[in-house]
Amino acid sequence: MKIVVLAKQTFDTEAKITLDSQEKINREGVNLIMNPYDEFAVEEALRVKEKHGGKVTVVSLGEAKAQDILRQALAMGADKAVHIVVDELEETDEYTTATILAKALSGIEYDLILAGWRAIDDGSAQVAGRVAEILGLPMVNMVIKLEVETGKAVASREIEGGYEVLEVPLPAVVTAQKGLNEPRYPTMKGIMQAKKKPMQKLTLADLSLATQEVAPKVRARKYFLPTPRVQGKIITGEPAEAAATLVRLLREEAKVI
């Protein structure tokens, strides 16, 4: 079973977001991590491999630093990493990202492509779907249980108010939702071995993609920070009295009941 995982480096979940002098998101001094949903995807790929044999290739598009998450995936047990290095692209959108990833994938063999269902930075939840569309593959989104058999996958995916079980032929694209598994931590041995595993670096030129082919369809015009919430009233008094006051304020002052 040849499995490809798409993974992205994102800001740490604790990161405080500020704007820089150009009114763009300030990237200075922010801790970077593997997108949490992509960790589930890497873990699932390793589990499928452990059961069926095969190879796991992790692919990431990003700046030079993105190699850290590829190393992490290799240390977890992936076999190979492909890093599409793209510092030069100043504006991207999901169309851009998907076009580049799909092009890189066209040079790789796969039976299954796994990805996180969304990245926690832009929350866009569309790159995997676009990649599936470009490659002509069926997709199952937000999967919480996956079983791979010869030529097909049976996946349970989260829907509002429950879940549904779908069957799709392979190759297919599957995105991971929390609940799919518990990602393992890299072991010391894994980290040592990762250093010897192949990490391929590619540029847009290597993929023969011209800048205009990856021009974004949507452009960011302005970034801003939300107005911070301010602390409201602390209601004091005996519990019964406080509860009564709160209910009254929610009706009369906040008008939400």
Partner 1 sequence: MAGGIWVYAENQNGKFKKVTFEMLGAGRQLADQLGEELCAVVIGHGVGELAATLGEYGADKVYVVDSPELARYTTDGYMLALSKLAREHQPAVIFLGYTVQGRDLAAHVAQRLGTGLCTDCTGVNIEDGQIVFTRPIYAGKAFVEAVFAEARPVMATIRPNALPAAEFQPGRKAQVIESSATFGAGDIRQVVREIVCQASGRPELTEADIIVSGGRGMKSAENFKILEELADVLGAAVGASRAAVDAGYVPHSMQVGQTGKTVSPQLYIACGISGAIQHLAGMSSSKVIVAINKDPEANIFKVADYGIVGDLFEIVPLLTQEFKKLLGKK
Ligand X SMILES: Cc1cc2nc3c(=O)[nH]c(=O)nc-3n(C[C@H](O)[C@H](O)[C@H](O)COP(=O)(O)OP(=O)(O)OC[C@H]3O[C@@H](n4cnc5c(N)ncnc54)[C@H](O)[C@@H]3O)c2cc1C
Q: Which of partner 1, ligand X, none binds 20 (CB below 5-8 Å, type-dependent)? A: none
Kindly tell me which residue out of 2, 47, 124, 190 binds partner 1, with binding defined by CB under 8 A: 124
- Under rule CB under 6 A, residue 13 binds ligand X: yes
Could you give the maximum distance between any two Cα atoms of the chain, in Å? Answer: 71
- Under rule CB under 8 A, residue 16 binds partner 1: yes
- Under rule CB under 8 A, residue 223 binds partner 1: yes
- Under rule CB under 6 A, residue 179 binds ligand X: no
Q: Cβ 196 to partner 1, closest distance in Å? A: 32
Q: Which of partner 1, ligand X, none binds 257 (CB below 5-8 Å, type-dependent)? A: partner 1
- Under rule CB under 8 A, residue 242 binds partner 1: yes
DSSP code, position 14: T
The CA-atom distances, in angstroms, between 18 and each of 12, 14, 47, 156, 186 are 14, 13, 38, 38, 31
CA distance 7 to 35: 7
Using DSSP, state whether 182 is helix, strand or coil.
coil
Of 72 and 141, nearer to partner 1 (C-beta) is 141
**Nearest Cα to 58, choosing from 43, 74, 37, 36?**
74
Footprint on this chain of ligand X (rule: CB under 6 A): 13, 36
